[in-house]
Structure 1
């Protein structure tokens, strides 16, 4: 099977899943947010063409779909890396040294906030609070919490992700 046929099939399968998700939630009050969550789970982000499909099938303006996506920080308009690093910049974390940790992350990964490394492995985000103030400063790597950090911990966290990849590949 050639790659074009394979990617077309994958696109068709995803399209069918989106239609199924919309149908399942269509008659529920506040359906848009659960639909967006599930669809983002399929794509890893919310591509423009999918936003248009959701708007059309729900019979709502595309501006409403886009407004919800851009209002909630959980939703993404761009593909994210395999590892999503989110550093807390809330008061407790900031006071206890999140700033230098963020600087080290940017330097180590060679990206800024909201960017993804060229190899597609890491996305760096900053958030206001992760709800783990007792562990400040805190960051998450794809949902896994790392607390009581210093900037010197950054290399080890990144290396752990890379070594996990090497173990999986073997």
Structure 2
């Protein structure tokens, strides 16, 4: 699969092809592609004069980076103490039932991905989840399914 690198070039230009801007470059690449593709790592490595292994080291060290595609809707379920005690695992089960994925997976159509996290910092809203930066709290399984159904029905922008 060949991929044009016009978008990557624009990102590199924005940061002046500076090695010290690698994290910001990777964040923008991930925003563009919903993950950091292997061929983009190699392209950035050549453009910045950084061995791809070092770029992979950065991309695997920081939790916000993903080398696997994420869904259009990235769901984060909190499994911190407060959320766990309030039933966050029942929310995971509801997501599995509604969209057919478990934590760490993405739907075949790349519409949804699901990750379980240690804490979202929304303990007062337990159990909580975040979808593309929007926090949902005091959830019950049926409410989670309703939210997901509404997202499924949204037209592609």
Answering whether residue 106 of structure 2 is matched by residue 116 of structure 1, we say yes
Unpaired segments of 5 or more residues in structure 2?
A: none
Q: Residues 94-121 of structure 1, C-alpha deviation per residue, up to 9 Å, x if partnerless?
A: 1211111112212322212111112221
Q: 64, 72, 76: which is aligned to 2:62?
A: 72
Distance 1:97 1:130 in 2: 15
Answering whether residue 34 of structure 2 is matched by residue 44 of structure 1, we say yes
Structure 1 residues 103, 20: closer, same or farther in 2, change over 3 A? same
2:6 corresponding residue in structure 1? 16
Query: Highest Rg: 1 or 2?
Result: 1
Q: Residues 8-49 of structure 1, C-alpha deviation per residue, up to 9 Å, x if partnerless?
A: 7xx43xx12312322332465731100001111221211100
- Tell me the TM-score normalized by structure 2: 0.88
Aligned-pair CA distance for 1:154: 2.0
- Tell me the TM-score normalized by structure 1: 0.82
Unpaired segments of 5 or more residues in structure 1?
A: 1-6
Count of aligned pairs:
157
Distance 1:102 1:82 in 2: 18
